[in-house]
Amino acid sequence: TLTIAFYLNGILFLILFFSAIKDWKEHIIPNVYLVRGVAIRALLLLHEVSLDGTEAIKRLGIKVGISAFIFIIGILIRKLTKDGIGMGDIKLCALMFLYLDASVWLGSLFVSLILSALHVFIATVGKKERVRIPFAPSLFAGTALVIICNIK
């Protein structure tokens, strides 16, 4: 049988994929993608509770708390760096934590930052003007690499 992790990863891939496309084209991550992601995660919690009882609720409660912390830290980083990271990127990173284990989330973020740095380097070589780089495509690629290659 398919595990809950399979469904969580598949749904997260879809959210990240469509967010990456929209961010690449329009430099925005629509809130509707994120709200649907939270709603689907809440629905999957019902299945987890049927399998693991109150332990699933406790785990998700911890994840919600940490996601809120990620969101707050993201806002602080945004304020300190002035447009260095978009609100959609912050919300997407917090949402990712609801779907992933902590080690997978950290690995995904680390690989995504490396991919984004490479993208920035390639996009800005020889240019004097500021270039806006969407982060969601890097989040999608980094998360896919970490999950598919089982990097932790």
Higher pLDDT, 128 or 90: 90
What CA–CA distance (Å, rounded) separates 118 from 103?
23
**pLDDT digits 0-9 by tens, 13-68:** 999 999 999 999 999 999 999 999 999 999 998 888 888 888 888 988 999 999 99
pLDDT, one tens digit per residue, over 63-114 is 999 999 999 999 999 999 877 789 999 999 999 999 999 999 999 999 999 9
Q: What angle do CA 128, 27, 29 make, to 5 degrees?
A: 150
Instruction: Supply the pLDDT for residue 119.
Output: 93
Which range (12-16, 52-56, 116-120, 139-143) has the least confidence?
52-56
Instruction: List the one residue out of 3, 34, 26 whose CA is nearest residue 101.
Output: 3
Residue 126: predicted pLDDT: 80
Burial of 48 by CB count in 10 Å (0-12 exposed, 13-18 middle, 19+ buried)? middle
Q: What is the dihedral of CA 144, 145, 151, 152, to 10 degrees?
A: -50
